[in-house]
Structure 1
């Protein structure tokens, strides 16, 4: 049933359904069945068989009906209009290559070499535009055959030379793509497995770079590009990601990477994100403002991009800009369509802006969910420490000593249970500083002095890779100075 439902959905994207497809307005079983499928009226074969034949899915009449409809649906897939599907131009180009190759091969079978050659040349032009190595090779192979049959020696020699070069490139490209697929499998395993694979991944990355430079094809570059980002994100070397994204922009401008197939929006997103993680805030803000217009405000991607833009503003202490960005987010009508988790993140960002900027027009920390969350929640992974800190700061500003004393045990438990690894060092050190603030009876001078060692370690600790790290909405160094300020003024 799932196959039929999927096929029926695809057929709706045809320019005009084939005459072989039964008219859904007809009263026959086929037309009635098609109409029900198009309206998603059936979830199971049992439902369909019962309504159509008052029987079960094993009824031979139902089986034969399914077989006929399935065959007609598959035949209609040749008529799918990719513009209706709203896919990217290179996917439309890919589909056109498939159809033209089909035409060229039909003409070959009929020994109509002129028409076969004409269609193969069309394939070659499209494949060259979108850097489809496979299609270029397939088209050239047909052209060689046609050249041979037509006695076109010069064309044969030129096409043979081009094919030989492409075959060498294809060998490198295939090796790069297969290595990339293997990398993806290894990285999708457990966290332990990923860590064990990291030393080998560095070598595989070097090999991918060599294969890309040897082939200079888009698929080889794409394999290197994605694996490079994964690896450097895992080890926390965001400066290398910055280099790659900037390089990619240059390769696009020079035409060395196919702009039609490269996801430029993703590269811009990663470029801004990497500047944030590499603490290159000023440059990151320049890029963030420059590329903002390229993201549609009625999309999830716009909100994801704004998160990095907002965090760049917060980390560089440009709180007025951060407030402006928050206003854009909350006034965007698409905000209502975000997931509950995404909305909670924005509320968390709003709460943090209110504590670092007293002049902010954002609401202060009054959202009950921030105070009632458990000490650890998988649903909030990456933001658990941020929530704990916010809760601590809330009670600190209210001078709720009892609540702060209770938090001490919670923080100790959290450190012991969830911050054991080296990639958690920054969060671990900062939570220890919070504990120190309470155990030293909120004496700012004593806390500053005794916390100096932890603070020095914190400053020297690099930002870990996102595969493991908790998110610092506001840098811990900035938060600590703010906490000391509060202690100095209110205690």
Structure 2
């Protein structure tokens, strides 16, 4: 009861008479322009400060009245944040514990600041217990320090020593977790700039992975173990060993199953997505589809992670020859209202996928009639970029030009591929793309004679078939139709052109 009396006294004597919050039920008038600004931003009416200032004050965004209005709105937004329904967002025990522990520690500090020591220490004790249960070591450290200081003031040597022991142990774990985070972020920051394989990146990632492994063995911490798995997953992606990555994902899932109280949907979705990527490179459609469908349960449709998932799902269907299913995935993604908000690079990628599907199913997609020149004009980024999708764009041109029968233009595109291979692939680990370009060069060398081309390209085809999944550079990840299948299609079309009229492609 002493705690309640202390808190009740504090709330009664020092509470604000009016808390300024966002009240959407109010009518908009000259006395609450902040609400008009809030609704204008929330509903998309105002996309810039200039839009808002012009509408509200018929002036520029530098107007002091507008700047003051923004400040008042920000204060109300911050106040309102404390009253959002966190249970709606954080639906797992772990996420609720993270929210509750952070909120309770803040309240304990607030109580201490206002002299309500008994209430503050009581809250710190309960928060410490919950934080220890969920391995929230930063909160454990903060609460233990607060309690240690309190027990020193009242001369309770036993509790002071107990609190000091918790401080020392939690400090070790926090340092280890911070080090593991640094190692993980070291890989992320390097790999985010370029996904191209570089030996130095692989060596650095391996060292980070090994250090994380040692830290997770030395300190029993849930967060450390998760960081060990995530660092390893990055490392295996960099060296493109998808069998080892799949094995690590399975181990991570087993670890998470043993800790159900720490369940987080996005973490489960991340692993399911990675497993699907593994099955993409291992060309295992059934298991890939199973994990794609599992991953969809964890991601909000139309969210960034959902688009990443669906892109890999699309590539899985293409690489395993499930082209009708690929069309379904393509239509679902490109028809989603949030598709227009993707970056230009992402939208261009889907335009390239559109080209390949139009080649496989001419005139059957919901998109407008495909035109080769319009396609090339619509992808300025990847038409100039010499990595990633660039060879996929040129290969798409080869496919359509064969249909069109334009051998002069075909020669020019194949020559562009040769130059590209010489300048950009010679020193890279990109065996599949290099081999396929050599095969395409035989088309021009033997005047598109399918019999001669088939014979002269056979050795390259056998080497291509012998390449292990995942043992290629970033550029090969942009292999839309597997090169073996694309080659088969090309030869079949060349052989059929003498007896079957070519499809009319409008350029």
TM-score, normalised with respect to structure 1: 0.75
- Give the match for residue 384 of structure 1: 390
Superimposed CA distance per residue, residues 100-152 of structure 1 (whole angstroms, 9 cap, x where no aligned partner): 32432455567755422321134225534653211012122333455666787
Cα distance, 1:490 vs structure 2: 2.6
Q: Are the counterparts in 2 of residues 176 and 220 from structure 1 also a CA contact under 8 Å?
A: yes
Write out per-residue CA displacement over residues 195-242 of structure 1, whole angstroms, 9 at most, x where no aligned residue: 534323312210012112322334434443443333322222222322
Contact 1:173 1:215 survives alignment (8 Å): no
- Aligned residue for 2:429, secondary structure, equals helix
Q: Counterparts of 2:21 and 2:497 in 1: how far apart (Å)?
A: 81
CA RMSD of aligned residues (A): 4.7
Shift of 1:388: 1.5
Note if 1:289 corresponds to 2:293: yes
Deviations 1:32-74 (A, max 9, x none): 7897698678848xx89xx79x9998x9xx69x9799969966
Contact 1:131-1:217 within 8 A present in 2 as well: yes
The count of aligned residue pairs is 467
Pair 1:403-2:409 in alignment: yes
Question: Is the Cα–Cα contact under 8 Å of residues 385 and 470 in structure 1 kept in the other structure?
Answer: no
Distance in 2 separating the partners of 1:183 and 1:331: 35
Q: 1:378 to 1:71 in 2, by over 3 A?
A: closer
Q: 2:484 aligns with which of 474, 477, 485?
A: 477
CA contact (8 A) 1:386 1:471 kept: yes
Q: Which of 373, 376, 390 is the equivalent residue of 1:373?
A: 376
Give the distance between the partners of 1:32 and 1:356, measured in 2 at CA: 56
Question: Paired residue for 2:273?
Answer: 269
Unaligned 5+ segments in structure 2 are 1-16, 499-507
Q: 1:209 aligns with which of 205, 213, 220?
A: 213
CA gap of 1:322–1:138, structure 2 versus 1, over 3 A, is: same
Distance, in Å, in 2 between the alignment partners of 1:466 and 1:92 is 41
- State whether structure 2 residue 179 is matched by structure 1 residue 178: no
Corresponding residue of 1:13: none
Deviation, 1:347, is: 4.3
Q: Distance in 2 between matches of 1:152 and 1:405?
A: 87
Change (3 A) 1:468 1:234: farther
Does the 8 A contact of 2:151 with 2:157 survive in 1? yes
Structure 1 residue corresponding to 2:314, chosen from 310, 317, 322: 310
Query: Shift of the alpha carbon at 1:255?
Result: 0.5
What residue number does 2:13 align with?
A: none
> Which deviates more, 452-461 or 383-392?
452-461
Partner of 1:81: 82
Partner of 1:431: 437
Cα-to-partner distance string for 1:172-205 (whole Å, 9 max, x where unaligned) = 2222223334444554667899653432331221
Q: Does 1:134 align with 2:142?
A: no
Query: Within 2, Cα distance between the matches of 1:55 and 1:394?
Result: 52
Match of 1:245 among 240, 243, 249: 249
Change over 3 Å in CA distance of 1:392–1:67 after alignment to 2: closer
Q: Hey, what's the Cα distance between the residues in 2 that align with 1:107 and 1:98?
A: 14
Structure 1 runs not aligned, ≥5 long: 1-15
- The alpha-carbon deviation at position 386 of structure 1 amounts to 1.7
